[in-house]
Amino acid sequence: MSSLPTPATQAGQDGLDALLAQPGKALIGLDFDGTLAPIVADPELARAHPRALSALAALAPKVAAVAVITGRPAEVAVRNGGFADVPGLEHLVVLGHYGAERWDARSGKVTAPEPHPGVAAVRAELPGLLDGSGTWVEDKGRAVAVHTRRAADPQAAFDALREPLTELATRHGLIVEPGRMVLELRPPGMDKGVALSEFAREIDAGSVLYAGDDLGDLPAYSAVDTLRTTGTPGLLVCSGSDEVTELRERADVVVDGPEGVVDLLAELADRVG
């Protein structure tokens, strides 16, 4: 096992030091796709890295909480991650749909508000707008995501669709969340930053680590920055990719995709044991 990476910033070093000094007060926040699970062409086939569960099960009992924060429905993330009924993960929380849904390992139940009516309206109009584009629509229940990775020219399709999808979303009271060859139409008011901040406040976290890979993780990065200014140390980890550079530029630590994230979690578990 490799040693812990050295954060590129003093704020990141302070966050790591605080986590190691008082792991029982630390919140570990993790994105799913691209962070715990490799990105694949068909999101339904995404599965957590083979060593993710063992690393999480080793670390989770030693920290205040582990929260998986994802744009996916909570139940889908639980299924694809294999998080249910895993010894050591009894206190795991999955915040799905950017925090609109919550699954607790202890109860095995999902709590959520009623869906936004704009999602159904958008869902009905998308086929006509996307006809012939070579894209694929993922119905998330509380959101719909248009994937361009299967198109003949994924980036060109992404660029061409961004404006019309934004107009469609706005017309029905939704917003567009861009990602790695995906444009997600979802309700406003929740993002990974809000979800992370609210959960950190709920558990009175003494430090926060957040790991992500995509544009949707930027609000969580900003939330950690805000927590730092109010006295809660934080560490920003980027699950590196060649498709998104914004997180890499803001991160304290950059690791090599989900493999690197799992290595980091396992090393943390060893250090705080």
Domain 10-112+190-272 part of CATH 3.40.50.970 = no
Question: Which two structure tokens, joined as six digits, stand for 102?
Answer: 């919550």
Parts of the chain with a pLDDT under 70: 1-2, 244
Q: What is the pLDDT of residues 76-101, one digit of tens each?
A: 999 999 999 999 999 899 999 999 99
Q: Give which of 61, 15, 6, 35 is closest to 241, Cα–Cα.
A: 35
- β-strands 136-139, 144-147 pairing: antiparallel
Q: What is the pLDDT of residues 164-199, one digit of tens each?
A: 999 999 999 999 999 989 999 999 888 999 999 999
pLDDT value of residue 12: 98
* pTM, two decimal places: 0.82
Fold of 117-186: Alpha-Beta Plaits (3.30.70)
Q: Indicate where the chain has its CATH 3.40.50.1000 domain(s).
A: 10-112+190-272
Question: What are the DSSP E strand ranges found in 32-179?
Answer: 65-69, 93-96, 101-104, 109-111, 136-139, 144-147, 175-179
How many other C-beta atoms can be found within 10 angstroms of the C-beta atom of residue 117?
11
pLDDT value of residue 3: 84
Q: Indicate where the chain has its CATH 3.30.70.1020 domain(s).
A: 117-186
pLDDT value of residue 132: 87
Which helix (H) or strand (E) element contains residue 108? none
With tokens 């000094």, the residue in question is 21
